Structure 1
Amino acid sequence: MTALSRRRLLLAGAGAACALPLAGAGRALAAGPGDPAGTRLLTATDVHVSDYPTVEAVRWIGQALRERSGGRLDIRLYHSGQLGREAEAIDMARFGAIDITRVYSGALNNAFPLTQALCLPYVFDSVEHMRHALDNGVADTVLRGFESRDLVGLAVYDSGARCFYNIKHPIVQPHDLHGLKLRVASSDIFIQLLRLLGANPTPMSLGDTFSGMETHMIDGAENNMRSFHSSRHFEAARFWSQSEHSYAPDILLVSRRTFDSLAPGDRRLLLETARESVAVMRRKWDESEGRARQAVLDYGIQANAVDMPAFREAARPLREAYLHRPELAALYRRIRDLA
């Protein structure tokens, strides 16, 4: 889909949002070729590739909905950024132009402040700590925070440890980042973190990052191992440094317009199925992350450990600045108590 087509879709959704009455305003999508008559077809989008764990989890939701609803509900999934970037997907879901989207929590920080607690550096100690915290009330608290902005939170998908990679040299100490121009998602937290560590943060879409490194417009980026592999960034950046500076998860959202248009039983079915998909996503993640790590090592990537205490200390001022906000401090304390 071209950028012009995406803009037309977004504008069409915005127009529909203004034109339709609030009551019963949910958008019923027409069945496509081969779709059973009377099926409510929900459109879902993800920027990741077809076999990425979050994509496979949403695909599993579609299969489960078909079976459990007797064919009444289904999902048409557009992966690999076919319907645009994450920022566009968030707006399209809010306007009701698409139904379901999976987005990185960092892209939600400004509009949904509770997501900031999940993205701050060194909040989680490990994948196990993150999953334990999410499963014990933290995910539910964050998901409830979406209700005020035309979205409904369906599930929180984890996405591994975010680490630094670059085209120049290993990063062991924070000062090794000084002067490096690194891609970050459009998130104030990550921009501030890189500045604090002495790097030059460059907000850029995931899709533009490879060419940015190839042309030396940027020196590297930060992301999880699975994305490092699936985006083929390892072909440009030969140095991977296991900083684990954030475990910022992904979040699955549905348009409030769509959700309210469903019958009460179908709302419950969608919520329950989405929550069940978390276990599917985690299993797929664990399997594919190990394969991804081995693949990049076999390719010749130089991977190294970092001075973790030094990185934690360097990031502490940023974490403390955000935790002056009572709601974030309370959520942070809950996360740490579950370590």
Structure 2
Amino acid sequence: MKGLTRRRLLLAGAWACALPLAAPGRLLAAASGAGEGARVLTATDVHVSDYPTVEAVRWFGQALRERTGGRLDIRLYHSGQLGRESEAIDMARFGAIDITRVYSGALNNAFPLTRALCLPYVFDSVQHMRHALDNGVADEVLRGFESRDLVGLAVYDSGARCFYNTKHPIVVPRDLHGLKLRVASSDIFIQLVRLLGANPTPMSLGDTFSGMETHMIDGAENNMRSFHSSRHFEAARFWSETGHSHAPDILLVSRRTFEALSPPDRRLLLETARASVDVMRRHWDASEERARQAVLAAGVQANEVDMDAFRAAARPLREQYLRDPAIAGLHQRIRALA
């Protein structure tokens, strides 16, 4: 029980009491307005209601309803209503929730193959990332979840991650020296920030704004869409286009839930989840540009960086992880698709 939040304990306890009586989805059928016998799957996301991944899962649920005549449905809890990503991963593993969208960096320790997607400068661009994911890379990573009580449904991309801070523009790595930066709880990102000369501070996305306002941290790294939706631009006025990672998001379903479905419904779930990737990408491309225009209009200073200097500074970290043959093999496939 060590490290569990009160919210997670309450949720886990509530579900544990209910699980012997019925599967999680069925318990929510009446609350969602679904018909008798309908299977309602719970889905979670920490992002806000109009975030592209939330919109994609919303479409996913609508498509399931239409294709099954309402027999399968999804009830979506966005904005972190059911806890943080780390909590959602464990609740899905134990069957307390059905579906969750998780940032791949949060999966690195438990699912080592996801590290290949998070390494600095492994992807050259969003286009390269999508091309690689669509040509076997996503399938290979998703198969790796089966060993830990989860089933991989789809890989959603999440743009280019860049540094932003409250102090000054970042042009070369030495401009990061001494800055305290929020990072996700991922060894790769902690090591990268430290390698670049900054002080990594792992914390949740929800705590980052107050961290900058109270000067606990000086900045963070994330994609433009999250920079805007989290309103971090109100505290951090300097955005630097480092593009140091294109680590994507991953949509997962509890193995317990998946195996409770009939074989045809399992196939339908997988097919519909994969179809939601294009929905997510359309929402992403449109909303990312709107987010960029909004933060620039609000007075954020955006600047280009010395990309060669950042690539060179990050190379030792990439080489360290490529000593793992599995990661090296996947990295080779990704680079061949550049």
What is the Cα deviation at residue 32 of structure 1?
Answer: 2.6
Letter in 2 for 1:328: I
Q: 2:12 aligns with which of 10, 13, 18?
A: 10
The aligned residue for residue 127 of structure 2 is 128
What is the Cα deviation at residue 27 of structure 1?
Answer: 6.1
Contact 1:234/1:296 (8 A) holds in 2: yes
3-state SS in 2 of match to 1:81? coil
Cα separation, partners in 2 of 1:50 and 1:180, compared to 1, 3 Å: same
Contact 2:24/2:41 (8 A) holds in 1: no
Partners in 2 of 1:235 and 1:26 — Cα distance?
39
Letter in 2 for 1:50: S
Q: Would you say how many aligned residue pairs link Structure 1 and Structure 2?
A: 333
The aligned residue for residue 139 of structure 1 is 138
Letter in 1 for 2:10: R
3-state SS in 1 of match to 2:146? coil
What is the Cα deviation at residue 62 of structure 1?
Answer: 0.3
| TM-score, scaled relative to structure 2 | 0.96
What is the Cα deviation at residue 6 of structure 1?
Answer: 3.3
Partners in 2 of 1:58 and 1:38 — Cα distance?
22
The aligned residue for residue 43 of structure 2 is 44
Letter in 2 for 1:69: T
The aligned residue for residue 202 of structure 1 is 201
Partners in 2 of 1:10 and 1:306 — Cα distance?
45
Which runs of structure 2 are paired with 1:204-223 in the superposition (5 Å)? Answer: 204-223=203-222
Which runs of structure 2 are paired with 1:2-151 in the superposition (5 Å)? Answer: 4-13=6-15, 28-33=26-31, 34-151=33-150
Letter in 2 for 1:141: E
Residues 15-44 of structure 1 deviation map (CA, whole Å, 9 limit, x = unaligned): 777x79xxx978633413422221100000
Cα separation, partners in 2 of 1:321 and 1:16, compared to 1, 3 Å: farther
The aligned residue for residue 307 of structure 2 is 308
The aligned residue for residue 331 of structure 1 is 330
Letter in 2 for 1:29: L
The aligned residue for residue 182 of structure 1 is 181
Contact 1:14/1:96 (8 A) holds in 2: no
Which runs of structure 2 are paired with 1:166-315 in the superposition (5 Å)? Answer: 166-315=165-314
Partners in 2 of 1:26 and 1:234 — Cα distance?
38
What is the Cα deviation at residue 13 of structure 1?
Answer: 4.3
Partners in 2 of 1:32 and 1:5 — Cα distance?
23
Contact 1:13/1:95 (8 A) holds in 2: no
Which deviates further from its counterpart, 250-259 or 5-14?
5-14
Contact 2:15/2:24 (8 A) holds in 1: no
The aligned residue for residue 317 of structure 2 is 318
Partners in 2 of 1:132 and 1:122 — Cα distance?
15
| TM-score, scaled relative to structure 1 | 0.95
What is the Cα deviation at residue 52 of structure 1?
Answer: 0.1
What is the Cα deviation at residue 154 of structure 1?
Answer: 0.1
Contact 1:43/1:98 (8 A) holds in 2: yes
Partners in 2 of 1:331 and 1:15 — Cα distance?
42
Letter in 2 for 1:334: R
What is the Cα deviation at residue 11 of structure 1?
Answer: 3.7
Partners in 1 of 2:73 and 2:91 — Cα distance?
19
Contact 2:212/2:236 (8 A) holds in 1: yes
Residues 84-106 of structure 1 deviation map (CA, whole Å, 9 limit, x = unaligned): 00000000000000000000000
Contact 2:179/2:198 (8 A) holds in 1: yes
What is the Cα deviation at residue 10 of structure 1?
Answer: 2.1
Letter in 2 for 1:218: I
Cα separation, partners in 2 of 1:261 and 1:127, compared to 1, 3 Å: same
Partners in 2 of 1:324 and 1:4 — Cα distance?
40
Letter in 2 for 1:163: C
Partners in 2 of 1:8 and 1:143 — Cα distance?
30
Partners in 1 of 2:30 and 2:300 — Cα distance?
44
What are structure 2's unaligned runs of at least 5 residues?
A: none
- Two-structure CA RMSD over aligned residues (Å): 1.5
Counting aligned pairs with the same residue, the percent is: 82
What is the Cα deviation at residue 131 of structure 1?
Answer: 0.2
What are structure 1's unaligned runs of at least 5 residues?
A: none
